Amino acid sequence: MTIHYSIIIPAYNEEDYLARTLENVVLAMKEQTQQGELIVVDNNSTDRTAEIARQAGAKLVFESENQIAKARNAGARQASGSHLVFLDADSIISPVLLTAALANLDSKRVCAGGARVEFETRVDVFPQRVLDFWNWYSVKRQTAAGCFVYCLKKAFDKVGGFPESVYASEEIWLCMALRKWARNNAMEFRIITKYPILTSDRKLLWYSNTNLVLQSLPILICPPLLRVQYFCKHWYRRPEKNKRN
């Protein structure tokens, strides 16, 4: 049977969130008329991430270097579908969002896109305002959040995938390349606003607002620091459970 789309989930020590994410992905896939595949990229995890992926029936790919872009690209190289959907391990996709993304790609008018982002739970005013700003910016500049990116595989391959020169913000650079590809091929990049992608607020539990701002300042002031993993550690670090810094 021909695989029409591939859902790719990079995962580094995600045993606390991955099972629920995969459960919702499987439910969303069952609602589709086309055949899809589920790929989990174990990004050198030391917990039960790989075991959980196997139990869910996912195709398991291993990437030894702990870098988000490399993990995403490793999954894409193993994908059989003509449509790619990248999803974070702590995010929940609904059947209607997956249907909308696949329909956009099937239309031959859209080559890539993302979705409006919502937290699963109610959060404080400051992080909610930051998310509101991101959603405005996402639509205004047609830029997808990393927790949900969809695209044609041929477009993804043509632009070279996620840039492996950075340890964070790889989705921003990919979106820039895909928008250019879309213009050159009389297509468009489209953010889905009707159906949101739900993501966890775990970083708000792990770190205080002040801590997150202080961690982000260096790379905001000096973007080349995105090439150094040390300065992107809050994307990679897993603090002790139930401990907030």
Q: Is 44 exposed, middle or buried (0-12, 13-18, 19+ CB in 10 A)?
A: middle
Report residue 244's pLDDT band, with 50, 70 and 90 as the boundaries: very low
* Domain boundary assignment for the chain: 5-200
- Whether 86 has a pLDDT exceeding 90, the answer reads yes
Of 197, 230, 196, the closest CA to residue 215 belongs to 230
Q: Which two tokens stand for residue 142?
A: 């047609």
**pTM for the model:** 0.92
The domain 5-200: what is its CATH number?
A: 3.90.550.10
What is residue 132's predicted lDDT score, i.e. its pLDDT?
96
What region does 108 belong to: left with phi over 0, alpha with psi -120 to 50, or beta? left
Average pLDDT over residues 188-194: 98
Q: Output phi, psi for 50, to 5 deg.
A: -65, -40
Render pLDDT for 41-51 as a digit per residue (tens, 0 to 9): 999 999 999 99
**Residues composing the chain:** 245
For 210, the token pair is 């002040």
Residue 242 is predicted with a pLDDT of 44
Going by C-beta distance under 8 Å and a sequence separation of 6 or more, which residues neighbour residue 64? 44
Q: What is the mean pLDDT of residues 218-228?
A: 77
3-state secondary structure of 161: coil
